[in-house]
Amino acid sequence: MIFPRHPPGPEEIAEHYDSLGQFYRDVWGDDLHHGYWSEGSEPTSIAIEALEKEIANLASISRGDRVLDVGCGYGTTAIRLASQRGAIVTGWTVSPAQQEAATQLAETIPDDAPKPTFLCRDWMENKLADESCDAVLSIECFSHIPDKAAFLGEVARVLKPGGRLAFSDWAAASTTRPWQRRFLLEPICREGRLAGLADRNEWRTMLEGAGLEITCLREIGREVRKTWRIITWRIFRKTVSDPRYRKFLFENLKSDRIFALTILRLLAGYQTGCLEYVLAGAKKTGTGRDRDTKKHPEFL
């Protein structure tokens, strides 16, 4: 596991995304996640939705499923699951700004689709009933979690028997060199407010430790790394043409604005092979509990 010297808490993560939110949305859009290029020539918007489809298919999301989107960002994934698949989705974020924006965006979906609910709450304090949902999704949230085993334990607790988990995020390669850890992975953690980068073997151990049966554990760095080439080019173009970008990036520099440098580290991490991007799926096996579980109002 690759750790920063000072792992961030939920408040620091929220502040990071609130600080960079308008900057990132202007460069990339409301989807705060990678694109997935299976062919390599797809438009960016198609690649972004393709990653969501990979995860939704892995979790077998269908009409009427009660789904949790942990680390929902601005709610675009939850909204597509509701409008395109008829899922009943609750999104979780630690950012008040993201919750507000996601709630407003959800008002645009068709009236015949179930409207997602968005909560500003730490997942580790979710207070949901046992076995209360059909699926849990999480896109690029796992690396922000300090206690990843406990995170997966909560997922296993709230999933119904047969319930599915699908998530994706950065991971460290199983073998890394000292210079890669010092100049790439550790700074990426620090600057991106990541609590730690686990490798795939550690993902497997934690998933199995939570009592989940692994259905997929696939490295897709080659298919997603184009994301950062596009973002780098867009930032360069906007910095040259728009004085607001130059002011944001170079004047009165704040710690969050160093994320522009982090993007270069991400590119180098993918190129040198020390940084991976992993797509994981799992399901909860076994039978239901004998006792009744208390219904939570968010799942009525």
What tens digit of pLDDT does each residue of 255-275 get? 555 677 888 999 999 999 999
Cα angle for residues 95, 96, 101 (degrees, 5° grid): 100
How does DSSP classify residue 211?
T
Determine, yes or no, domain membership for 296: no
Determine, yes or no, domain membership for 244: yes
pLDDT tens track for 216-254: 999 999 999 999 999 999 888 888 888 877 777 665 445
Determine, yes or no, domain membership for 264: yes
How does DSSP classify residue 181?
I
pLDDT tens track for 102-121: 999 999 888 888 999 999 99
Asked if residue 291 has pLDDT above 70, the reply is no
How far is the C-alpha of 33 from the C-alpha of 51, rounded, in Å? 8
Find the CATH number of the domain harbouring 186. Answer: 3.40.50.150
Determine, yes or no, domain membership for 255: yes
Determine, yes or no, domain membership for 294: no
Prediction pTM value: 0.89
User: In total, how many domains does the chain have?
Assistant: 1
Determine, yes or no, domain membership for 102: yes
How far is the C-alpha of 148 from the C-alpha of 297, rounded, in Å? 27
Q: What is the pLDDT of residue 245?
A: 75
Query: 44 is in which domain, residue-wise?
Result: 10-286
Determine, yes or no, domain membership for 2: no
Determine, yes or no, domain membership for 295: no
Mean pLDDT of 29-43: 93
Residue with the bigger pLDDT between 298 and 92: it is 92
